A and B are shown apart, each in its own frame.
Chain A
Amino acid sequence: MSGPNTDYDPVEVTPLKPEEVESARDAALAAIAAATDLAELKQVRIDHTGDRSPLALANREIGALPPQARKEAGQRIGRARGAVAKALGERQAVLEVEHEERMLAEETVDVTLPTDRVPAGARHPLTTGAELIADIFVAMGWEVAEGPVIEAEWLNFDALNLGPDHPARTMQDTFWTDPQDNGVVLRTHTSPVQARTMLTRTPPIYVVCPGRVFRTDEYDATHSPMFHQVEGLAIDEGITMAHLKGTLDHFATSMFGEGISTRFRPSFFPFTEPSAEVDLLCFVCRGAGELDGARCRTCRGEGWIEWGGCGVVNPRVLTACGVDAERFTGFAFGMGIDRTLMFRHGVEDLRGFFEGDVRFTTAFGSEL
């Protein structure tokens, strides 16, 4: 830096001459305008505003001027530097936008590429189907009861009015644990859960019991040694068949849609009296039996689908399970969950549920 110079003629300090300052300024502005990217602009900034730049060097000379000349020179330099700084800022903003646009364009990907790095999991439709059914009943204030699949013979048969000579108690239908006089079977229906519930709770009772059951059926497209049932049981004062009908109609509507009702046909079950078969109005053809002029495949042209069995709880069952049959009446119903899902979802072969092929199960996702 120069010291004061008394011999120095301020008017003659070359870098501070107006034309020199303007020339340096114009050179800077031209360079800024010519910069095409941020790297070039950075060099322009160093060249024209850095410590060695003409305007910076000129600015340093101001101190050498006599005091009366400093103000004017300072203003001149200040204006020039201000103009350069402003132009730099503006150019910087423009180039930054350009840069970002270019970068984003370069980063464009093909969004149709596959993204299935970790394959999806799924829950089994028999699980989610049972949950769907449970939720329909829980929404009405019912509860979900459960029991073991390896069950006492007395609870599976006797308590339900299936006496020792009932045909179902033969080796033809029931899996017995060894030895056969052990009194223990693989439950043939979910009805022993009814008995357990009545034995351990006091009415009013409103429960559904979904679960696995076993029969000695050979395995084919419509039979399986293991399948799933849902049982319903209501015990209260004044319960009638009308309440049974109302409950099943609501169940049908919830599962299959508005307007899908049920009908009863007289039948026989030892644990209910009166007993009924319950049919579901075909939710595909809505009872017409045909669809677009062809026989409805879901109900095989019947207009109705056999859904399950039901009835008024036989007072003998109430007595065996400790419920006051004079005071309370009840109804019970049972249907196959597998079967219900087969026609709800058009499953052609029952074995699809039990093979464990992920292509079957993942189609149903995690909820039904």
Chain B
Amino acid sequence: MKTPVSWIREYVDLPADLTTEALAAELTDLGLKLEAIEKPGDQITGPLVVGRVLTMEPEPQKNGKTINWCTVDVADANGTGEPQGIVCGAHNFAPGDLVVVVLPGGVLPGNFAISARKTYGHVSAGMICSAAELGLGEDALSSGGGIIVLPEDAGKPGESAFGVLGLDEEVIEFEINPDRAYALSLRGVAREAALAYDASYTDPTQRDVPPADDQGYPVVVDDPAGCPVFVARTVSGFDPAAPTPDWMVQRIQLAGMRPISLAVDVTNYVMLETGRPIHGYDADKLQGPIRVRRAREGERLTTLDGTDRALSTEDLVVTDDSGIIGLGGVMGGEATEMSETTTRVLVEAAHWDAVAMFRTGKRHKISSEAGKRNERGVDPTICEAAADRVVELLTTYGGGTAEPGVTVVGTPPERTTITIEADLPARVTGMEIDPATTIRHLRAVGCEVAEDGTKLTATVPPWRPDLVDPFDLVEEVARVVGYRNVPSVLPTPGAGRGLTREQRLRRRVGRTLAGAGCVEVVSFPFVGDAAFDQLGLPTDDPLRNTVRLANPLSNEEPAYTTTLLPGLLKAAARNVGRGASGVALFETGTVAFPSDRGAAPIYGVDRRPTEEELAALLDALPAQPLHLAVVLAGERERAGWWGEGREAGWADAIAVVRRLASDLGVAVTVEADARMPWHPGRCARVLVEGTEIGRAGELHPKVCASFGLPKRSAAVELDLDALLRHAVDVVPAPEFSTYPVAKEDVALVVDDSVRAADVEAALREGAGELLESIRLFDVYTGEQVGQGRTSLAFALRFRAPDRTLTEDETAAAREAAVARAAELTGAQQRS
């Protein structure tokens, strides 16, 4: 809402020296938030004066243009009283016209300094100004974008043009919250200014209006709930060519609207002034009585924006004998629109149901100044005053006469009353507010207040449909007392329980992965078929079954993801594309799998849902497990003076999983798997207590290629919730022996098909209790062990808790280990 300060001052007796900035700050403190202050003239300095064109000689130029060599009377403004010689390229004025002249020494917007300069064979001493050059809208003073020609009564030559042009105006733009619809009018903003400065206030809707009678235009309202009040007045003999007075054009423009024609400008002006949207009909195009009702199935209307609309049975419509002529309160119809031939105007000032207005606006995607006010709630008691004001302005400036007859159908709804304990504002705000203060402030905002013991009953003013609940009154009192007076007091909750187990574990996961050299990323969870295709997922892969969005930002990514890999692989590729030779990333985030339980119910809000209702609600939501994904692409260890670098591979992915599991105290096992997007021979299924929790390994070469990642990039994706469920809560302290260790190495030859983990398990089993640790330290294939055979070398460490082991004991344990491995895996000791 843009409000010229001079217009506010018209209704409020504000201190003369009050700055616009101070006023805006006070109003912001009251809840009208300052958006911007505009000072149209503050980029213009120096002599800007009214001038009269005395002579105007057209002089054709070689370049094909014709310039005008003018002399302009600026009286003594130039210091000599002699006419000022000025070259002007525009032609939309004539000798005798009053124009705006900037004299040498002036500066126009854009830091455009004016000086006397030689051009087209003359010394041009200044400039005759257009609206654009002054930073004004194209429509300023009906100039049509050319030179501004002032009305004859605008001023005398030599006088300052600032006031004439409204350049001395200052405009405050407020962001109006939806509960303060009354402030979408000068009436409302001025009332708040009066409240801020305890200043006297004149309500522009307080006027004597002619009484309703049955002589006015016939109106029937079939739906009084949708349209409680309908006021109609008629002006005839109106001159459609009559210009809008400049002061009105200026105010409409300063308020951010476009002047159109006198009749339209007047309705807009009165809306800005009072907050009440007005609709004007060309009365000669109306056929028979006006009737307000809901639209019927299948009805259509072409609104004045030229759109043909199919109407809903919820839409409120205005009709006459020809059918529907307007979408009530939202937009008029084309057929009865006022035009340049309209001489008889029917003025409609009606009060509409706000919810119906909101729904109609939303349904038809119409956003208008009228709709904005009607859907937030307008004072229902000012219809007659607003209509009368329109009639006054139309007849004053358009030359018509008000027809006798005043149609008023319906009565404004009863005013709301709210009863509160007088100390409620103090109890809710923590400020010291006594009942007398509460009563005073409630009255200041327009409530009538009755006292009854400790209770106060407020009858809220008709322009405040937002005031419904006791706490609404608390806010009114609090904002007048001033939010700045709210004291600062720390609450004192009891002992808290700290972070939950899961919250602590999630932090640990992040630290472990960062410690492993991985960098966390946060990606958008939106996904589409393209990403699943890039991952090489088969068409029936369960990951393709997604929670879809009804209104995705991009049709390419219309779903919530089931895997973190697409976002993570794209981020990795982005880093590689920006020159990283290696990148290790991780992300934790929820993925979603659709629920098949149907729609989530919508309950009322007058009570808590029952446990069953709540369970049904939560049950309808998709499963949203927390996942962890890691990608290791390119250089895992850098090359340097220490030697070669090392590319990431499948083992690094599994190493990350093992390190994480170890930090969490979870025993994970891996087994071979083959599933996209992983390399079929280099993919591990990760298990905890026999349950699969995810996969790790090298990505399929096609996947690396499709995402633009280095060959052999590796990735992990785990169900982190599942992993964390198994995390150890209390780590038992380890016990270990300090007796000397006995080390034994064994090299075992096995068939290629035998897995290292099985050999290790057999050795461990055979070695018995004396075995402290076992570690595979070498894998060899080649001629020495024969085709299809592999040599696995293990380092075994034996130690007893209570003594130094003898050589015989160690050898026996070692032999038992080898024997067990031979028995279970066919391993032969390498000679």
In contact, B475 and A124 (Cβ under 8 angstroms): no
| Residue of B with least CB distance to A338 | B522
Contact of B427 among A120, A236, A240, A314 (CB under 8 A): A240
Q: Which residues of B contact A355 (CB under 8 A)?
A: 571, 574
Q: Judging by beta carbons under 8 Å apart, are B428 and A274 in contact?
A: yes
B180 on interface, CB distance cutoff 8 Å:
yes
Given A175-B549, A176-B550, A182-B599, is A152 in contact with B488 using a C-beta cutoff of 8 Å?
A: no
In the bound complex, residues from chain B placing their C-beta under 8 Å from that of A159 are: 605
Question: Are B607 and A177 touching (Cβ within 8 A)?
Answer: no
Max chain B CB contacts within 10 Å: which of A249, A268, A319? A268
Of the listed stretches B75-83, B274-282, B499-507, chain A binds B499-507
B606 contacts the other chain (CB 8 A): yes
Residue of A nearest to B567 (CB): A356
State whether the Cβ of B582 lies closer than 8 Å to any Cβ in chain A: yes
Residues of B within 8 A of A117 (CB): 637-638, 640, 642
CB <8 Å contact, A315 and B493: no
Contact code string A312-355 (vs B, CB < 8 Å = 1, else 0) = 10111001111000000100000000000000000000000111
Contact across chains for B493 and A123 when beta carbons are under 8 A apart:
no
For chain B, residues 604 to 656, give those with C-beta under 8 angstroms from any C-beta of chain A: 604-609, 614, 617-618, 620-622, 624, 636-638, 640-642
Question: A119 near B428 (CB under 8 angstroms)?
Answer: no
User: In the assembly, what is the distance between CA of A361 and CA of B572, in Å?
Assistant: 13
B525 surroundings in chain A (CB, below 8 A): 149, 226
A178 interface residue (CB < 8 Å to B): yes
Do B469 and A316 have beta carbons less than 8 Å apart?
yes
- Residue in B472, B483, B489, B553 whose beta carbon sits within 8 Å of that of A243 in the complex: B489
Q: A97-134 interface mask toward B, CB cutoff 8 Å, 1 = contact, 0 = none?
A: 00000000000000001101111111110110001001
Please give me the residue from chain B that is nearest to A157 by CB atom.
B602
- CB contacts (< 8 Å) of A131 on chain B: these are 507
| Contact stretch, chosen from A67-75, A76-84, A138-146 | A138-146
Q: How far is the CA of A150 from the CA of B516 in the complex (A)?
A: 31
Distance to closest chain A CB from B360 (angstroms): 11
Nearest residue (CB) in B for A234 is B491
Are B499's CB and A171's CB within 8 A? no
- From A10-18, A39-47, A259-267, give the one contacting chain B: A259-267
**A163 smallest CB distance to B (angstroms):** 8
Is the pair B478, A241 in contact by a Cβ cutoff of 8 Å? Answer: yes
- Residue pair A320, B494 in contact (C-beta under 8 Å): no
Complex interface bits, B30-74 against A, C-beta within 8 A gives 1, otherwise 0: 110100000000000000000000000000000000000000000
Residue A179 interfacial (CB < 8 Å): yes
- B560 interface contact, C-beta 8 A: yes
A218 on the interface (CB 8 Å rule)? yes
Q: What residues on B are CB-neighbors of A245 within 8 Å?
A: 430, 486-489
Query: Once bound together, how far apart are the Cα atoms of A204 and B429, in whole Å?
Result: 19
Interface residues of A in 239-271 (CB under 8 A from B): 239-247, 249-250, 261, 263-268
Tell me, yes or no, whether B580 is within 8 Å of chain A by CB.
Answer: yes
Q: Is B578 interfacial (CB-CB < 8 Å)?
A: yes
With CB as the reference atom, state the residue of chain B lying closest to A146.
B503
B613 to chain A, nearest CB (A): 9
A361 touching B521, Cβ below 8 Å: yes
Is B31 touching A267 in the complex (CB atoms < 8 A)? yes
A50: Cβ under 8 A from any B Cβ: no
Known A-B contacts A153-B602, A155-B617, A357-B575; the reply to A240 vs B510 at CB < 8 A is no
User: Contacts A154-B601, A204-B494, A264-B483 known; A149 to B515 CB distance under 8 Å?
Assistant: no
Point out the residues of chain A lying under 8 angstroms from B526, CB to CB: 225
In residues 175-208 of chain A, which contact B (Cβ within 8 Å)? Answer: 175-184, 186, 199, 204, 206
B831 within 8 A of A: no
* B33 x A277 contact (CB < 8 A): yes
B517 within 8 A of A: yes
> B513 at the A/B interface (Cβ < 8 Å)?
yes
Q: Which residues of A contact B516 (CB under 8 A)?
A: 121
Q: Tell me whether A182 and B362 are in contact (CB under 8 A).
A: no
Chain B residues, Cβ within 8 Å of A266: 29-31, 475, 478-479, 483
- Known contacts A183-B600, A361-B520; is A121 also within 8 Å of B514 by CB? yes
A150 CB contact (under 8 Å) in B472, B499, B560, B609: B560
Cβ of B464 to closest chain A Cβ, rounded Å: 13
Q: A183-B620, A267-B177 are in contact. Are A236 and B493 (CB under 8 A)?
A: yes
Instruction: Say if the beta carbon of A23 comes within 8 Å of chain B.
Output: no
Whether B608 contacts A321 by the Cβ 8 Å rule is yes
Select one of B178, B496, B521 contacting A206, CB under 8 A. Answer: B496
Bitwise interface map of B from 575 to 599 toward A, beta carbon under 8 Å scored 1, else 0: 1001010111100011010000001
Determine which of A151, A177, A246, A356 lies in contact with B585 in the assembled complex, contact meaning CB atoms within 8 Å.
A356
Least CB distance from B438 to A in Å reads 14
Cβ-closest chain A residue relative to B578: A357
A302 to chain B, nearest CB (A): 10
- Contact pattern, B 406-445, Cβ under 8 Å of A = 1, otherwise 0: 0000000000000000000001111100000000000000
Interface residue B18 (Cβ < 8 Å from any Cβ of A): no
A265 and B471 in contact, given A150-B592, A178-B548, A243-B489 (Cβ under 8 angstroms): no
A165 in contact (CB, < 8 A): yes
Proximity bits, A277-310, B CB within 8 Å = 1, else 0: 1000000000000000000000000000000000
Q: Are A123 and B490 in contact (CB under 8 A)?
A: no
Let me know if A366 and B514 touch, CB within 8 A.
yes
Contacts of A182 in B (CB 8 A): 550, 599-600
Distance, CA A181 to CA B550, complexed state (A): 10
State the CA gap A143–B497 with chains docked (Å): 7
Residues of A within 8 A of B605 (CB): 158-159, 161, 163, 316, 319-320
Let me know if A264 and B486 touch, CB within 8 A. Answer: yes
Residues on A with beta carbons closer than 8 Å to the beta carbon of B488: 242, 245-246, 249, 261
Q: Binary interface profile of B, 130-149, with partner A (CB < 8 Å = 1, else 0)?
A: 00000000000000000000
Q: Does any Cβ of B come within 8 Å of A362's Cβ?
A: yes
The minimal Cβ–Cβ distance linking B130 to chain A, given in whole angstroms, is: 32
| Contact digits for B352-377, partner A, Cβ 8 Å, 1 yes 0 no | 00010011001000000000000000
Q: Contact at B550–A366, with CB atoms within 8 Å? A: no
B380 shortest CB reach to chain A, Å: 19
Complex: A161 Cα to B522 Cα, angstroms: 31
List B contacts of A22 (CB < 8 A): none
Contacts A184-B622, A315-B469 given; does A242 touch B430 at CB 8 Å: yes
- Residue among A122, A250, A314 facing the most chain B CB atoms (10 A cut-off): A122
Q: Shortest Cβ distance from A252 into chain B, in angstroms?
A: 10
Name 17 interchain pairs, CB-CB below 8 A, sorted by A.
A119-B638, A127-B510, A140-B493, A143-B498, A149-B525, A151-B621, A154-B603, A158-B603, A161-B605, A177-B549, A180-B550, A273-B472, A274-B479, A314-B469, A315-B469, A319-B605, A358-B583
User: Which 5 interchain pairs have the tightest Cβ spacing?
Assistant: A242-B430, A356-B571, A322-B608, A240-B430, A266-B31
Further pairs besides A264-B483, A358-B519: 9, Cβ < 8 Å:
A121-B515, A127-B522, A154-B603, A184-B620, A225-B524, A265-B29, A266-B479, A358-B575, A361-B520
Interface residues, chain B, with chain A CB atoms under 8 Å away:
28-31, 33, 177-180, 355, 358-359, 362, 427-431, 469-472, 474-475, 478-479, 483-484, 486-500, 503, 507, 510-511, 513-526, 547-553, 560, 567-568, 570-572, 574-575, 578, 580, 582-585, 589-590, 592, 599-609, 614, 617-618, 620-622, 624, 636-638, 640-642
